[in-house]
Chain A
Amino acid sequence: MPELLKAPLVVEFPFTRSLGPVQSAFLTGLRERTVLGVKTSDDKILVPPVEYDPVTADELRDLVEVGATGTVTTWAWNPEHRRGQPLGKPFAWILVKLDGADTALLHALDVDGPDAVHTGMRVRIRWAEERTGAITDIACFEPYDGDEASEATPHDGEFEDKVSGIVAPARLDYMYSPGRAASAYITSVAERKMVGERCPSCSKVYIPPRGACPTCGVATREEVEVGPSGTVTTFCIVNVKAKNLDIELPYVYAHIALDGADLALHGRIAGIPYDQVRMGLRVEPVWTEGGRYPDHYRPTGEPDADYDTYKELV
């Protein structure tokens, strides 16, 4: 049993989110320390203001201003801060109904411990020092001892230099493991051996093996060394730089059926002018120090394979 492989996989991207008019007004308002809500056809004030009425599905556009103080409707003490969450220390999650609003907003409450928070407690917004037009312009809520104050008042939603979008960076960390068959393959390739697996039912040899014969739906187990030479079954000439790849253009990207394999794998062809690569060309892998995969494939010098010998593999 080969060693099972495992490695971190980081999925990270700064998503660029355009905003609809209600969202734009709300988030710009936060930048200006103003909290906006939106009024429904039955005069309910929704804060945060959603674009569409959850009950009637009507488009909502009728903005109002509500208070920066409010009342906790439920809470949860978060003893362990997690990445991306507000405050950088333990805090309470709260749903808070701002004064003048009929619905609650989710945010963080800065208190020392769970004993300092209860449903019905009065809180107010603590504004972030630097505000950009995002939900995080509310740094958090903090305890407040004033009574319920303001009624909602109409607001035209107009501000100077309104934000039209937010950038929402998101990072998730995974520990990826490719499983038994792929681990075995990757391990053998690192030893410069191309080892596929044969299906016990249809006898086809799969490389890379995927743990299952996809046509029979059964596990492949019998290891079969294939190649190292193979035949170019088809290809394209790449004239456009692929992301994160430093390969001189143009180059040839080919499907290569290794001798003994029943389907082609993919690789780059070099050691021959790009415009002389052809279907049927016989090639072999070229390894570089420390490479996990063959760096490229080069011509073996054998005569080209006859089309009929590989056309089932195209």
Chain B
Amino acid sequence: MSVTKEPVAVVGIGQTKHVAARKDVSIAGLVREAAQRALQDAQLTWADIDAVVIGKAPDFFEGVMMPELYLADALGAVGKPMLRVHTAGSVGGSTALVASKLVASRVHKTVLTLAFEKQSESNAMWGLSLPVPFQQPLLAGAGGFFAPHVRAYMRRTGAPDHIGSLVAYKDRRNALKNPYAHLHEKDITLEKVQASPMLWDPVRYSETCPSSDGACAMILTDREGAARSPQAPAWVHGGAMRSEPTMFAGKDFVSPQAGKDCAADVYQQAGIKDPRREIDLAEIYVPFSWYEPMWLENLGFAEEGEGWKLTEAGVTELDGDLPINPSGGVLSTNPIGASGMIRFAEAALQVRGQAGEHQVDGARKAMGHAYGGGSQFFAMWLVGSEPPQN
């Protein structure tokens, strides 16, 4: 194809301090806080923004239909284009990718992208289990959807029982180094994780994600914008979305094809041949701890059946060879619609060298990953500290 894309840079990142309930702000106040921090980071003003791309999970969570209409003023979007993305759990990632296309296509130069969830306005389980007539009621709550897939993974790979607790222990310790993380369990120990109640056997309480209020924003811009950036930008080297049906005959819930294809597309765009060696860290969407080893395989960081061995060997620790979720991940922070964008933003923070206490030394290439709970929608990007070569 003869089209040359404009390289896309991340020059501003902002998050709220994620908590169970932000009682001091409106929905607008919450998103505004993240957006304002991203603008400050980029040393830009509202007038510098050409368009806004916003994402969140189902509207029922806050009880506001298409809330971007009400949020236009708070996000400085009046007189500008505003797009609203919704791709289930992957939405935070997809939203960033849609925003990046606006720059890559040269339709716009500088775009604000933002994702949020204010779960305290309602109750996520209510929103996810509306009493649709004739349907069999959900028999097992949120974790019951995921736990059988974890068991299938364990059966397939022979992974020992304690792997899930290792992930949770690592992510909760990482969260202590991230001031924006929701859970700050200062006295966390592996024993405590392993002693926590078994909710949906084989998934323990400490291996599940919290329910958070939070927002995350990024400023994406073109080469000119990046040249003016006061701080080092992160460059987008590749980004892709893939979808497969939520349920179908032959679906592999343990390692979905859409996830494999999405990663392969991103690696191809970024010129990555050996992700395990060439990628310095990854922020991946792990809502239940066992999804770390599952995704390590799905994303090609480990051979099939070998993902848990990386976790067990400490490779995914903050000081390991391939740190996974230095931020503490979804296990420590889960404003659902924003969770994917936080992964993307944390990957960018790392290659900009701005992750503070949870910085991975010398991070030059990082992956951000998001997916929808039905393992049907995937969104990923790969960011680097240097502009892309091609």
Contacts and interface: CB of A to CB of B under 8 A. Distances in A.
Contacts of B147: 236, 253
Interface stretch (A5-13, A84-92, A150-158): A5-13
A293 B62 CA distance: 32
Interface stretch (A15-23, A94-102, A124-132, A138-146): A15-23
Contacts of A52: 28, 32, 73-74, 76
Nearest to A238: B140
B110 to A, nearest CB: 15
A176 interface: yes
Contacts of A247: 139
A292 interface: yes
Interface stretch (B148-156, B272-280, B334-342): B148-156
Interface string B136-150: 111111011001111
Chain B interface mostly? loop
Contacts of A255: 148
A92 B327 CA distance: 54
A239 B29 contact: no
A237 B152 CA distance: 13
A18 B141 contact: no
Given A16-B120, A57-B78, A234-B148, A11 B130 contact: yes
Given A235-B148, A243-B125, A253 B139 contact: yes
Given A16-B120, A20-B28, A253-B148, A240 B199 contact: yes
Contacts of B148: 234-236, 253-255
B3 interface: no
A242 interface: yes
B279 to A, nearest CB: 29
Interface stretch (A29-37, A64-72, A260-268): A260-268
Contact of A242 (B27, B131, B144): B144
Interface residues of B, number: 63
Interface stretch (A110-118, A163-171, A222-230): A163-171
Interface in B107-140: 120-123, 125-126, 129-134, 136-140
A215 interface: yes
A120 interface: no
A263 B60 contact: no
Nearest to B46: A57
Contact of B139 (A59, A202, A266): A266
Nearest to A206: B249
B21 interface: yes
Interface residues of A, number: 67
B227 interface: no
B121 A239 contact: no
A11 B317 CA distance: 44
Nearest to B35: A57
Interface stretch (B82-90, B233-241, B250-258, B261-269): B250-258
Nearest to A17: B121
A18 B27 CA distance: 8
A18 B21 contact: yes
A283 to B, nearest CB: 15
Contact of B245 (A178, A214, A236): A214
Nearest to A182: B134
A13 B199 CA distance: 27
B197 interface: yes
B66 interface: no
Nearest to B121: A15
Interface of B: 21-29, 32, 46, 60, 62-63, 73-76, 78, 120-123, 125-126, 129-134, 136-141, 143-144, 147-152, 155-156, 197-203, 245-251, 253-254
Q: Closest 9 A-B residue pairs measured CB to CB?
A: A236-B147, A57-B76, A214-B245, A262-B249, A7-B133, A237-B201, A204-B249, A253-B140, A15-B63
22 contacts: A7-B133, A9-B133, A15-B121, A18-B22, A20-B24, A20-B25, A52-B73, A57-B73, A57-B74, A57-B76, A165-B23, A214-B245, A215-B250, A238-B141, A238-B144, A243-B129, A262-B250, A263-B248, A263-B250, A266-B139, A279-B155, A293-B136
